[in-house]
Chain A
C-alpha cells in the first residue's frame, strides 16, 4: 500500500467528495462523516508519504503507468511531502472545528458545501504533489473554482468580493497557463524535471524569459503579492468563517510553494540568478508588500479584515525570502510557509469562534471578550505572539532565518521592512487585546438586563468544545513547531535547498 501513497493523497479526498455529493442528495447526515473520511485518508497518507520520503528519498509515481514525459507523474520530495502533510492536517482540523458553524448557517446546503470543501483540499494537495506543469494548472482550476463558490456564500458583499476574486484569479491562472504554453512550444514537454533539462540550452532566449515572467506574474496574482493583492482583503474578510479559516491559511501558502517549486525545479536557480536580473526588483516589491500590508491593516476596524491585510504582508516575507538568493533566506521562506499556515489558521479560527458567539468581528464586538471567551482569546494571543515573532512561538524562527538571509544578502531594506512589519503586528494585536481586555462589554439598549453589571461576574460564553479543541491544538502547534525548528530545518528543508544558491 505504501507505494500508492502519492495517489491516495489526492484520490482519497476526490472519491470521498463525490460520495459526499451523492449523500447530500440522499442522506445529508452522512456528509460530514464522509468528508472526515476523505480528509482523514489524505492526512494519514500524506504523513506516511512524508515518513517514506524522509527515509527512502524522493518518490515518483506514474499515473496510468505511463513513463514521463509521456504520462503524468507525481514527484514527491521533502518540500512537497511536508507541504502536503501541512495542508491535509490543517484542512482536517478546520473541518472538525467548523462543523457546528456549517450546520447552523447552511443547514440545507451541507452536501454541496462539504463537496466543495473537500474538492478544494483535493485541488491544493494535487498542486502540491504533482510533477507536471499542466496537471498543476488543472488542479489550480479546481481549487480556485471551489474557493470562489465558498467565498461567495458569505453574507453582505461576499458575492461581489468573490466576483472580483474570480476576475483577477482567472487572469492569474490564464497567465500561468500561457507561460506553460510558451514552455511547451519551445521544449515540447510538460514534465517539470524534463523541462528543467530541456531549458538549460535555451538560456538567453527571449521566449524563455517571457514564459518565466508571465508564469510568475500569474502565480503572484493567485497569492495576492503586492500590488496584485486587491482581491484578497474583501474575499477573505467577507468569506464565511469555515471557508476563511480554510482558504486564508492554505491558498496563499500553496501558491508560494508553487512559485518556489517553479523557481527551483523548472527554471532552476542558475537561470533566475544569472539570466533574470530581477531579484533586486522583486525583493523591493516584497518590501512594499510588507510595509503596505502593515499600514493598510492599521486602518481596519474589523478583526477579519485586519487579519486579511496581515496575510498580504506575510506573502511579502515569503516571496522576498525566496528571491534574496541565498540559502538562509530560502530556508526561512520555506520554513515560513509551514509556520505561517499554522499561525494564520490559528488566528482565523479564533476569529471564527468569536463570530460564532458574537455574530460579528468588528472591533466593537470584541469588547470584554477576555472575560467572556478566555480560551479563545488565549489562543488568539498565542497566534498573535507567533505573528509578532516572540521566541517560543514558531514565527520567531522563520523570521530569524529571513533576517539572517537579508543580512547576508546585504539587503537592508528587506531587514528593515521585516522588523517594521513585526512592530506593526505588535500595535495591531495589542490594540485588539486592549479592546478585549479593558473595555467593558456594551450593555445593549437601555440596560434592560440585570447581568453583567460593571465589576460583577461575567457569564462565560465560550465557543463550543468542537471549535475550542481544534483551536487549542493549533495554538499548541505553534509552540511545537517552534521547538521543532531544528530538526525541521536540518532534516527536511536543508536537503532540498538547491546548491546553486549562495
Chain B
C-alpha cells in the first residue's frame, strides 16, 4: 500500500513538474499573466479607485467579492470551532485554588463551588499554576497598547502601504492572545468577553457585506462602492476609496475577534475557564 502511494505521489509530481516546461519564463514581462489583466490594475488603479496600493485595490475592489468570502471563511472557522469545541459543563477536578487578592492568602476548595467567587476579590489559580513572572507580565502589559495601536495603523494605512484588514486584524488579535498567555485566559476574557468576540466576528463580516448591500440598495451592483457617492457626498472615485476603507475595518474586526475566539476555545478545551 505504501509503495503504491509513493508511486502515485511520484507520478503526479512528475506530471506537474514536467508540465511546467510549457510555462512562461520566470519573471517574463511578456507572459500572459503580465499582459492580460494586470496592465489595467497597474495603470488605472489610481485613476479608477484612488488607491495607490494596487494590491489593496485588486483585493478589496476589483476582486472585492472574493475577499468578502475569504473573510466569511475566517468567520466560518471561528463558528465551527465554537460549535465543535465549546462545552458548558465545568472541568471535572477534585479541587480549585484561589488567591485572595488583597491579602495574598491562597485558599483551596475541595469541591468546585456552584458560583465562582467575584474575580476582583478572589483570583482563580490554574491547575498547572506557576508563580507570577513579574517581568513578563509587566512588559506585556506595557507592550499591548502599542501593538494594538500599530494594528489600527496597519488597517487604516492599507491604502498606501502594505497592510489592510487581514494583517491589522491579526495584529490586534495577537495582542489579546499575548495578554492571555502572559497573564491568564480569565484576565483576557474579562477584557474581551466571549459574547463580544462572537458578536464582533459576525458584525465584522456584516460590515463588509452590508456596504455591498447598501450599494445595491442605492441602485448600483453589489459592492459597487461608486454607488455610495451620494451618501458620502464625494465623487464616485473617492467613494470607491472610502468604501474600501469601510470593508477593511470590517475585515479587521472579524479577523481579530475570530482569532481570539479560536484561541480561547482551543486553549481551554472549549471550557474557557483556564488556558495555556
Q: Which residues of A contact B (CB under 8 A)?
A: 4, 7, 11, 14-15, 18-19, 21-22, 24-26, 61-66, 69-72, 108-109, 112-113, 115-116, 119, 122, 126, 134-135, 138-139, 141-142, 145-146, 148-149, 152-153, 159, 178, 182, 184-189, 198, 205-211, 213-214
Given the complex of chains A and B, what is the CA–CA distance between A21 and B64 in angstroms? 23
| B125 is an interface residue with CB less than 8 A from chain A | no
Q: Which residue of A18, A66, A116, A122 is within 8 Å of B202 (Cβ)?
A: A18
| B31 is an interface residue with CB less than 8 A from chain A | yes
| B62 is an interface residue with CB less than 8 A from chain A | yes
Not counting A63-B64, A119-B76, a sample of 5 additional A-B residue pairs whose C-beta atoms are within 8 angstroms of each other reads A21-B202, A24-B198, A188-B32, A206-B18, A209-B19
Given the complex of chains A and B, what is the CA–CA distance between A187 and B22 in angstroms? 12
Q: Which residue of A lies closest to B15 (CB)?
A: A210
Q: Which residue of A7, A14, A70, A159 is within 8 Å of B72 (Cβ)?
A: A14
Which secondary structure dominates where chain A touches chain B? helix
Task: Check if B62 sits within 8 Å of A145, measured CB to CB.
Answer: no
Q: Which residues of B contact A (CB under 8 A)?
A: 12, 15-16, 18-24, 31-38, 40-41, 61-66, 69-70, 72-73, 75-77, 79-80, 82-84, 86, 88, 195, 198-199, 201-203, 205-206, 209-210, 212-213, 216, 220-227
What chain B residues lie within 8 Å of A153 (beta carbons)? 83-84
Given the complex of chains A and B, what is the CA–CA distance between A205 and B61 in angstroms? 34
What chain B residues lie within 8 Å of A18 (beta carbons)? 75, 202-203, 205-206, 209
Decide: A135 near B66, CB < 8 A? Known: A112-B79, A210-B16: yes
Q: List 13 A-B contacts (CB under 8 A).
A: A11-B209, A18-B202, A19-B202, A61-B221, A63-B65, A64-B61, A64-B222, A64-B224, A109-B86, A149-B84, A185-B33, A206-B19, A208-B22
> Measured between C-beta atoms, what is the minimum distance from B209 to chain A in Å?
5
Task: Check if B216 sits within 8 Å of A4, measured CB to CB.
Answer: yes
Given the complex of chains A and B, what is the CA–CA distance between A159 and B220 in angstroms? 44
Q: Which residue of B16, B66, B222 is within 8 Å of A138 (Cβ)?
A: B66
What chain B residues lie within 8 Å of A213 (beta carbons)? 15
Q: Which residue of B22, B61, B73, B199 is within 8 Å of A141 (Cβ)?
A: B73
Given the complex of chains A and B, what is the CA–CA distance between A115 and B62 in angstroms? 28
Task: Check if A149 sits within 8 Å of B33, measured CB to CB.
Answer: no
Task: Check if B37 sits within 8 Å of A148, measured CB to CB.
Answer: no
Task: Check if A142 sits within 8 Å of B72, measured CB to CB.
Answer: yes
Decide: A64 near B64, CB < 8 A? Known: A7-B222, A214-B16: yes
What chain A residues lie within 8 Å of B31 (beta carbons)? 185, 188
What chain B residues lie within 8 Å of A209 (beta carbons)? 19
Task: Check if A71 sits within 8 Å of B222, measured CB to CB.
Answer: no
Which secondary structure dominates where chain B touches chain A? helix
> Measured between C-beta atoms, what is the minimum distance from B158 to chain A in Å?
17
Task: Check if A189 sits within 8 Å of B66, measured CB to CB.
Answer: no
Given the complex of chains A and B, what is the CA–CA distance between A148 and B77 in angstroms? 10
What chain B residues lie within 8 Å of A65 (beta carbons)? 220-221, 223-224, 226-227
Task: Check if A182 sits within 8 Å of B19, measured CB to CB.
Answer: yes
What chain B residues lie within 8 Å of A145 (beta carbons)? 73, 76-77, 80
Decide: A70 near B37, CB < 8 A? Known: A19-B206, A63-B221, A214-B16: yes
Interface centre among B15, B63, B198, B225 (most CB of A within 10 A): B63
> Measured between C-beta atoms, what is the minimum distance from A171 to chain B in Å?
11
Q: Which residue of A4, A70, A207 is within 8 Å of B40 (Cβ)?
A: A70
Given the complex of chains A and B, what is the CA–CA distance between A238 and B191 in angstroms? 39
What chain A residues lie within 8 Å of B223 (beta carbons)? 63-65
> Measured between C-beta atoms, what is the minimum distance from A421 to chain B in Å?
27
Q: Which residue of A63, A115, A207 is within 8 Å of B23 (Cβ)?
A: A207
Decide: A11 near B88, CB < 8 A? Known: A145-B76, A206-B21, A206-B22: no
Decide: A116 near B83, CB < 8 A? Known: A11-B213, A18-B205, A214-B16: yes
Q: Which residue of B32, B34, B66, B82 is within 8 Å of A72 (Cβ)?
A: B66
Q: Which residue of B73, B198, B222 is within 8 Å of A21 (Cβ)?
A: B198
Q: Which residue of B lies closest to A1 (CB)?
A: B216
Task: Check if B65 sits within 8 Å of A64, measured CB to CB.
Answer: yes
Task: Check if A69 sits within 8 Å of B24, measured CB to CB.
Answer: no
What chain A residues lie within 8 Å of B79 (beta carbons)? 21, 112, 115-116, 119, 149
Q: Which residue of B65, B77, B84 is within 8 Å of A135 (Cβ)?
A: B65
What chain B residues lie within 8 Å of A141 (beta carbons)? 69, 73
Task: Check if A198 sits within 8 Å of B216, measured CB to CB.
Answer: no
Given the complex of chains A and B, what is the CA–CA distance between A210 and B12 in angstroms? 9
Given the complex of chains A and B, what is the CA–CA distance between A377 and B104 in angstroms? 68
What chain A residues lie within 8 Å of B80 (beta carbons)? 112, 116, 145-146, 148-149
What chain B residues lie within 8 Å of A188 (beta carbons)? 31-38
Given the complex of chains A and B, what is the CA–CA distance between A26 and B195 in angstroms? 9
What chain B residues lie within 8 Å of A66 (beta carbons)? 61-62
> Measured between C-beta atoms, what is the minimum distance from A242 to chain B in Å?
13
Q: Which residue of A lies closest to B63 (CB)?
A: A72
Q: Which residue of B lies closest to A209 (CB)?
A: B19
Task: Check if A69 sits within 8 Å of B83, measured CB to CB.
Answer: no
Task: Check if A185 sits within 8 Å of B23, measured CB to CB.
Answer: yes
> Measured between C-beta atoms, what is the minimum distance from A20 to chain B in Å?
9
Q: Which residue of B23, B62, B86 is within 8 Å of A70 (Cβ)?
A: B62
What chain B residues lie within 8 Å of A142 (beta carbons)? 69, 72-73, 76
What chain A residues lie within 8 Å of B18 (beta carbons)? 206, 210
> Measured between C-beta atoms, what is the minimum distance from A34 to chain B in Å?
12
> Measured between C-beta atoms, what is the minimum distance from B38 to chain A in Å?
7
